[in-house]
Structure 1
Amino acid sequence: MSKRDYYDILGVSKGADVDEIKKAYRKMAIKYHPDKNPGDKQAEENFKEAAEAYEVLSKPDKRQRYDQFGHAANAQSANGGGYGGGSMNMEDIFSQFGDIFGGGGSPFDSFFGGGRQSGGRKVARGTNLRIKVKLTLEEIANGVEKKVKVNKQVVCDTCDGTGAKDKSAFQTCKTCGGSGAVRRVTNTILGQMQTTSTCPTCNGEGSVITNKCNVCHGDGLVRGEETISINIPAGVSEGMQLSMSGKGNAAPRGGVPGDLIILIEEIPHETLKRDGNNIIYDLHVNFVDAVLGTSIEVPTIDGKAKIKIEPGTQGGKILRLKSKGVPEVNSYQRGDQLVHINIWTPKAVSREERDVLEKLQTSPNFKPNPGKNEKSFFERMKEYFE
């Protein structure tokens, strides 16, 4: 399912300022807060979705990239996380956006007995996976769906990811009493201070396994293989990274899966070269065709195209084929194909050909006489790439 527009998620216009975005996010966060909607998975997803939208739109640099590239801007994130990747868990949200709730806690703490405190029960998160996907120039130009087999950690079917032999193989952690956190009171010069930290016995889960699963040995995870369909937008480039939320390694005991980071690699084309969104093609024409003019078919990423070589064409001339290049990511704009004309000089000629050429050699029309208005190769290249 495609990701929703961040502005639509928060219900603001693209011209909204930071205060409007913050106010809209706080409204959505309160509406879908897990403490207000216990056990409601959809509300929890909406809560995470709103946090993801706010995390991007509240930061000018990330917002600018999102406005320009949309969700494909995820690819510019070097590690695949924290920028629209859809991988934020509850701990991320409360630690990063505590100011939205007025001090790092939940706006519902007073109603639910203290709410989410630092060091409380943790939601496990799977690790990210990175793969490389090789694309042809044609696939890059048109966009493509790739199906790849990914070897990764998946939830153990035997114990359904719990790590226990059966439902009775759990007991409440005696250290924290099932809260997942331990509290310590220390005396300071300012009086007694209470600190809360994750329970070291159960690692914040509130329970411990008394009888482990025979298949995963308590991990809740096993190695497996999944075939994943990756929709790659047109216009990606070498080194760009895309992120797929929740397609990385699974997390134990019902945690949040990691992300799948896709690194783009370009397969060099036999005849075409890419320069940004433009395509470069070196066309070699013989001396006679350059003098008399001709029509020649040249390859493009969309197939063959016929171009006209005007009589008297000089070597180094550049012909532009509009919109025959690579499109911008998430844009209707497309680069051009630049055809660089090279005059082919034969290295050997027959006796008859030599006789003809020697007659032409002294002809006035064959003496170099460049006009003052003719631009140099570097001037032409500068003109085309500006």
Structure 2
Amino acid sequence: MAKRDFYDVLGVTKGASSDDIKKAYRRKAKELHPDRNADNPNAEAQFKEVNEAYEALKDPDKKAAYDRYGHAAFEGGMGGGGGHPGGGFGGQGDFASAFSDIFDDLFGDFRGARGGGRSRATRGNDLRYNLRVTLEEAYNGLQKTITVPTAVPCDTCNGTGAEGGAEPQTCPTCSGMGKVRAQQGFFTVERTCPTCNGVGQTIKNPCHSCHGAGRVEKERALSINIPAGVETGTRIRLAGEGEAGLRGGPAGDLYIFIELKEHELFSRDGQHLHCRVPVSMTTAALGGDLEVPTIDGGRSRVKIPEGSQTGRQMRLRGKGMPGLRGGGHGDMFIELQAETPVNLTPRQKELLKEFDKLSESNNPQSSSFFSAVKSFWDGMKG
């Protein structure tokens, strides 16, 4: 049976461009694929015929030979066909070669085969730096110099990884794809290229300083600005200040995580500050004035009401922490802690005992509590 014209098989004219031939092949291959034509006994033969036509027409040299000699170009060693006797698909290697092209078209978008798989350069890793600051520094903000151990571009090869700054060469094994294909029966399996380890490039003479990586380990000093209002958990991103990319790739980012040190006077709750202030028993009972510190280094005078109890709070508006993104300052809360005197002298003890006899009606919380206790006991007896 005479072979059909390859152009007729693909449904294109003789003057069709390479793109037109590939599109036609893609369309025909999907249409005639045996898996999609289980009820058509001729589908496999037609599918092979389409692949044979595409194998001949996709290559400019083979196409020129076919245009001049027809099918005879691939028979008896004539012309530049380089195929097998009796046709261009005498073995699975040719079939795999042709099918890999359509495989790229059909699935390239999902695995980055259309150039995206060419990993000429790799982005550097992001780095994390934990920075502890004082509450005062968080209140005022600060500029600080930190030392970050990281990978930086190699000065010897200018980050290329090649001796003398030469450009890396396209990997001869995978042609720059970073992957190689192996035929397993009807399917084509992709694996990471063993020659370039997926990079897509090889270096003939690696740089003696970085051994072909294009970067070296080094400590780098960075001056950073910490804005006022930061708190534990605040994250600051410095774009491009992370690890240098591999073989000239873009650098990663540096993330600075803030942790506030404990303060001996103040505790923080968002933008608000809390300060526990001890007061003498007499000041709590009689009232008075109290001078307290503020986070800005100043002082504020607070009036203690007569009869204040432990735990009573007073607010100083605007004396808290600034907002990280503006919005004014929080407040500062003073919490009173009435202090019981210790190491009393005999005279002080005598005066307190006399005071206690005269103050039975001056302790409302005690009276209420013991009245409730008496009712509880009476109820238990009943």
TM-score by length of 1: 0.58
Return the alpha-carbon distance in structure 2 between the equivalents of residues 147 and 167 of structure 1: 32
State the SS of the aligned residue for 1:237.
coil
Q: Does 1:244 align with 2:238?
A: yes
Q: What corresponds to 1:255 in structure 2?
A: 249
1:237 to partner: Cα distance: 2.8
2:362 equivalent in structure 1: 367
Counterpart secondary structure, 1:166: helix
Aligned residue in 1 for 2:8: none
Residue 309 of structure 1 pairs with residue 288 of structure 2 = no
Gaps of 5+ in 2: 1-106, 368-382
Paired residue for 1:345?
340
Residues 128 and 258 of structure 1 are in contact (CA less than 8 Å); yes or no, is this contact kept in structure 2? yes
Note the C-alpha offset of 1:257: 1.2
Give 1 or 2: higher helix fraction.
2
Larger deviation: 155-164 or 315-324?
Answer: 315-324
- Counterpart AA for 1:251: G
Kindly indicate whether the alpha-carbon contact (under 8 Å) linking 1:360 and 1:366 is maintained by their aligned counterparts in 2: no
Instruction: Determine the structure 2 residue equivalent to 1:286.
Output: 280
Structure 1 runs (4+) deviating above 6 angstroms are: 183-187, 193-198
CA distance in 2, matches of 1:195, 1:122: 22
Match of 2:327 in 1: 332
2:195 corresponding residue in structure 1? 201
Give structure 1 stretches of 5+ with no counterpart: 1-102, 107-113, 373-386
Contact 1:315 1:342 in 2 (8 A): yes
Distance 2:324 2:246 in 1: 36
Structure 1 position 362, deviation (Å): 2.9
Report the Cα offset of residue 368 of structure 1. 0.8
Aligned to 1:160: 158
Structure 2 contact 272–332 (Cα < 8 Å) conserved: yes
Selected match of 2:225 from 219, 226, 231: 231
Partner Cα distance (1:176, 1:194) in 2 = 15
Q: Could you list the per-position Cα deviations for residues 113-145 of structure 1 after superposition, in whole angstroms to 9, with x for gaps in the alignment?
A: x9644x233430112222211111112233332
Give the number of the structure with larger relative contact order, counting CA–CA contacts within 8 Å between residues 6 or more apart: 1
Q: Is the 8 A contact 1:169 1:212 kept in 2?
A: no
Cα distance change on mapping 1:180 and 1:261 into 2, 3 Å: same
d(CA) in 2 for partners of 1:307 and 1:211? 76
* Count of residue pairs brought into register by the alignment: 260
Distance 1:274 1:196, change over 3 A: same
- State the one-letter code of the partner of 1:245: A
Normalised to the residue count of structure 2, the TM-score between the two structures is 0.59
Question: 1:151-184: per-residue Cα shift (whole Å, max 9, x none)?
Answer: 1111111111111112457433212334656567
Partner SS, residue 246 of structure 1: coil
* Mapped contact 1:122–1:204 kept (Cα < 8 A): no
Match of 1:34 in 2: none
Match of 1:267 in 2: 261
Measured against aligned partners, the alpha-carbon deviations of 1:293-335 in whole angstroms (never above 9, x if no partner) come to: 2221212212222211122322221111123223343231533
Distance 1:361 1:172 in 2: 96
Q: Secondary structure in 2 aligned to 1:319?
A: strand
| Aligned-partner Cα distance in 2 for 1:341–1:138 | 23
Q: Percent identity?
A: 39
1:259 CA displacement: 1.9
**Residue deviations 1:38-81, cap 9 Å, x none?**
xxxxxxxxxxxxxxxxxxxxxxxxxxxxxxxxxxxxxxxxxxxx
User: In structure 1, the residue corresponding to 2:364 is in which secondary structure?
Assistant: coil
* Residue of structure 1 aligned with 2:139, choices 133, 138, 141: 141
- Which of the two has higher C-alpha Rg? 2
Q: For the structure 1 residues 155 and 283, does the alpha-carbon distance in structure 2 shift closer, same or farther, using more than 3 Å as the test? A: same
Identify if the C-alpha distance between structure 1 residues 179 and 364 changes in structure 2 by more than 3 Å, giving closer, same or farther: closer
Contact 1:120 1:198 in 2 (8 A): no
Deviates more, 1:360-369 or 1:253-262: 360-369
Per-residue Cα deviation, 1:207-233 (whole angstroms, up to 9, x for no partner): 311111111121211121211122233
Check whether the contact 2:149–2:219 (CA below 8 A) recurs between aligned residues.
yes
8 Å Cα contact 1:290-1:311 kept in structure 2: yes
What RMSD, in angstroms, separates the aligned Cα atoms of the two structures?
Answer: 3.3
Out of 267, 276, 285, the position equivalent to 2:270 is 276
